[in-house]
């Protein structure tokens, strides 16, 4: 999974590994912080370009240029589904749950559990999380529903967001929405009709692919870790046909043809247009588009992409095939360029005091370019109501953060991050990993005994050298060179003060030496 990419933090220009598909959260998620480093990605505008709708709609012959433009729209539209398909194959391509490459994977229908926070030596995941333990599940609900049993969480913060194949969060049971009592979820597919057992709450997935990215709060102490492990071990998932029986999940089938080494994003981005659109069409057979996609689907039909049907490249006219062949690179450029162009202009992405973060995550409607961007940089993103993850690599004067200097971030009196869950500020080195330091301190959060100033404000200090003794409690050690900060806000308040409505803003990071 990616988060640990905070469901998007600082991953532009980097390919995420299969471990990094943990995000948001996962990061942006997961959460999402955005880093404007797109100079090498071309100058394409982030605004939507409409392919020639008249040609596609009328069935008239498409020119090479028309086909290229239409193909870019199709690529942007389908990028999330193709990425989810590849991610699911990689993360479930194991015989049984267990460590793979430094993280835990599991076959379809079985939980993959993250049981501890990584050390600075851990390099399998970028922007690692030191707040929650992951409880992850991939399901295929095409043939029948699955029943997930969740224990009483003993008032502990948790969330179990479920993503469909298009990366939309279609359900998010957890502390915010359903409380912390014991629950049973019946996850049903798009074509299923029937009755679930008594006491089971139905969550209907629009697609056959379902990805549950559960997060459970943990302080990281041995005692609290043991408590969370006990909770994780009480989660279960069974197909409806086996509900109420003594169910033993079958061993997973390992496909030797699945590339388990190349980062997922690199695999998807390397696909030829023919391979990409063929994969998209196959996935659409069991992961149908949304009802609001009617307009884009009419355009896609002009190049032979029709829901429920295979894509036949050989049936394309030469000019259309030539135009489509050139699509992947400009389409990827268009996706990435959205974060510093149209994304900011539209309000999908916020950039304030050098902190960047998207507020449209997890639910996109027909905003296909935003959906594709979040897939590209922070697959697994939560709804903003569950998590917002501002990121910065610069101080308020737009100069890169560097541990050779001293910085302060001041929260005025009674203006710590407004959350119903919890918040934390995490320090990363230039490679998005934890920085080894004498305090073994990688985050500052509300669980720390932060010292207040005489006026009630709270200062956080970021620097390499240890500060004066009265500041150590609020000090987050930085490497000697460039560093990155991520503010994670779980279950942010929706009423003022709120980062969601803009009535609360992240304080700037100021250099003070």
The pLDDT assigned to 123 comes to: 76
What is the spatial distance between Cα 476 and Cα 242, in angstroms, rounded to a whole number? 50
pTM for this entry: 0.89
* Residue 323 in domain: no
| pLDDT of 11 above 50 | no
Average pLDDT, the chain: 89
Spell out the alpha helix ranges (H) of 201-272: 222-232, 264-269
Give 342's pLDDT tier (boundaries 50, 70, 90): very high
The pLDDT assigned to 103 comes to: 62
Instruction: Give pLDDT tens digits for 101-122.
Output: 556 799 999 999 999 998 898 8
Distances (CA, A) of 291 to 288, 325, 387: 9, 29, 27
Query: Per the structure block, which two tokens stand in for 462?
Result: 């970021």
* Residue 356 in domain: no
* Residue 460 in domain: yes
Residue where a domain stops, chosen among 242, 266, 284: 242
What is the spatial distance between Cα 143 and Cα 156, in angstroms, rounded to a whole number? 34
Instruction: Give pLDDT tens digits for 210-233.
Output: 999 999 999 999 999 999 999 999
Give 340's pLDDT tier (boundaries 50, 70, 90): confident
| pLDDT of 83 above 60 | yes
Instruction: Give pLDDT tens digits for 126-184.
Output: 788 899 999 999 999 999 999 999 999 999 999 999 999 999 999 999 999 999 999 99
* Residue 58 in domain: no
- How crowded is residue 42: how many other Cβ atoms within 10 Å of its Cβ? 13
Give 99's pLDDT tier (boundaries 50, 70, 90): confident
Q: Which domain holds residue 108?
A: 98-242
Region of 354 (left: φ > 0; alpha: ψ -120 to 50; beta: rest) is: left
Cβ–Cβ under 8 Å, residues 337 and 32: no
* Residue 274 in domain: no
CATH assignment at residue 426:
2.60.120.600
Assess whether the previous peptide bond of 497 is cis (omega < 30° from 0). yes
Residue where a domain stops, chosen among 212, 242, 272: 242
Cβ–Cβ under 8 Å, residues 166 and 290: yes
CATH assignment at residue 202:
2.60.40.1610
* Residue 343 in domain: no
Strand partners of residue 213:
136
Residue with the two structure tokens 């063929």: 278
Instruction: Give pLDDT tens digits for 344-379.
Output: 999 999 999 999 999 999 999 999 999 999 999 989
Query: Into how many domains does the chain fold?
Result: 2
Residue with the two structure tokens 């503010």: 487
Distances (CA, A) of 123 to 10, 40, 47, 104: 16, 26, 36, 14
Cβ–Cβ under 8 Å, residues 2 and 379: yes
Where are the extended beta strands (E) located within 39-113?
98-100, 103-105, 111-113
Cβ–Cβ under 8 Å, residues 363 and 169: yes
* Residue 179 in domain: yes
| pLDDT of 67 above 80 | yes
Cβ–Cβ under 8 Å, residues 83 and 268: yes
Cβ–Cβ under 8 Å, residues 315 and 259: no
Helix and strand numbers (H, E) in the chain are: 10, 23
Region of 19 (left: φ > 0; alpha: ψ -120 to 50; beta: rest) is: alpha
Residue where a domain stops, chosen among 194, 216, 242: 242
- How crowded is residue 283: how many other Cβ atoms within 10 Å of its Cβ? 22
């Amino acid at each position: 999974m990616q988060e640990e990419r905070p469901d998007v933090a600082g991953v532009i220009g980097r390919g995420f590994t299969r471990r990094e598909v943990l995000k948001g959260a996962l990061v942006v998620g997961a959460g999402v912080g955005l880093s404007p480093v797109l100079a090498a990605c071309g100058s394409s505008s982030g605004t939507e370009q409409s392919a020639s709708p008249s040609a596609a709609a009328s069935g008239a012959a498409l020119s090479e240029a028309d086909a290229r433009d239409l193909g870019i729209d199709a690529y942007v539209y389908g990028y999330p589904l193709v990425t989810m398909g590849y991610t699911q194959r990689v993360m479930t391509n194991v015989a049984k749950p267990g460590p793979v490459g430094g993280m835990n994977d599991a076959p379809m229908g079985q939980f993959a559990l993250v049981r501890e926070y990584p050390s600075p030596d851990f390099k399998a995941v970028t922007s690692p999380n030191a707040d929650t333990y992951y409880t992850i599940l991939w399901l295929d609900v095409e043939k029948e529903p699955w029943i997930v049993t969740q224990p009483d969480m003993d008032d502990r913060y948790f969330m179990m967001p479920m993503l469909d194949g298009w990366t939309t969060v279609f359900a998010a049971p957890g502390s915010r929405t359903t409380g912390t009592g014991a629950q049973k979820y019946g996850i049903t597919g798009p074509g299923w009709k029937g009755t679930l057992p008594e006491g089971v709450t139905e969550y209907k997935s629009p697609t056959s692919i379902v990805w549950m990215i559960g997060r459970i709060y943990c302080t990281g102490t041995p005692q609290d870790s043991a408590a969370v492990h006990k909770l994780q071990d009480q989660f279960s998932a069974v197909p409806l046909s086996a509900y109420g029986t003594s169910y033993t999940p079958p061993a997973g089938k390992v496909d030797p043809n699945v590339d388990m080494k190349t980062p997922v994003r690199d695999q998807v981005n390397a696909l030829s247009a023919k391979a990409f659109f063929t994969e998209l069409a196959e996935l659409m057979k069991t992961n149908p588009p949304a009802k609001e996609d009617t307009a884009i689907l009419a355009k896609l039909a002009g190049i032979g992409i029709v829901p429920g049907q295979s894509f036949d490249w050989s049936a394309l006219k030469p000019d259309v095939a030539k135009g489509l062949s050139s699509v992947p690179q400009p389409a990827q450029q268009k996706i990435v360029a959205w974060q510093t162009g149209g994304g900011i202009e539209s309000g999908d992405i916020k950039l304030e005091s050098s902190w960047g973060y998207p507020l449209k995550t997890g639910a996109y409607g027909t905003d296909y370019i935003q959906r594709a961007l979040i897939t590209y940089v922070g697959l697994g993103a939560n709804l903003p109501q569950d998590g917002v993850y501002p990121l910065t690599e610069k101080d308020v004067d737009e100069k890169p953060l560097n541990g050779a200097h001293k910085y302060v971030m001041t929260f005025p009196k009674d203006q710590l991050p407004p959350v119903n869950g919890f918040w934390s500020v995490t320090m990363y080195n230039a490679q998005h990993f934890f920085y080894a330091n004498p305090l073994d301190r990688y985050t500052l959060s509300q669980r720390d005994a932060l010292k207040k100033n005489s006026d009630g404000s709270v200062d956080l200090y970021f620097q390499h050298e240890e500060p004066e003794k009265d500041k150590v409690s609020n000090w987050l050690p930085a490497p000697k060179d460039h560093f990155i900060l991520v503010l994670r806000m779980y279950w942010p308040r929706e009423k003022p003060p709120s980062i969601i409505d803009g009535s609360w803003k992240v304080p700037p990071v100021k250099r003070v030496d």
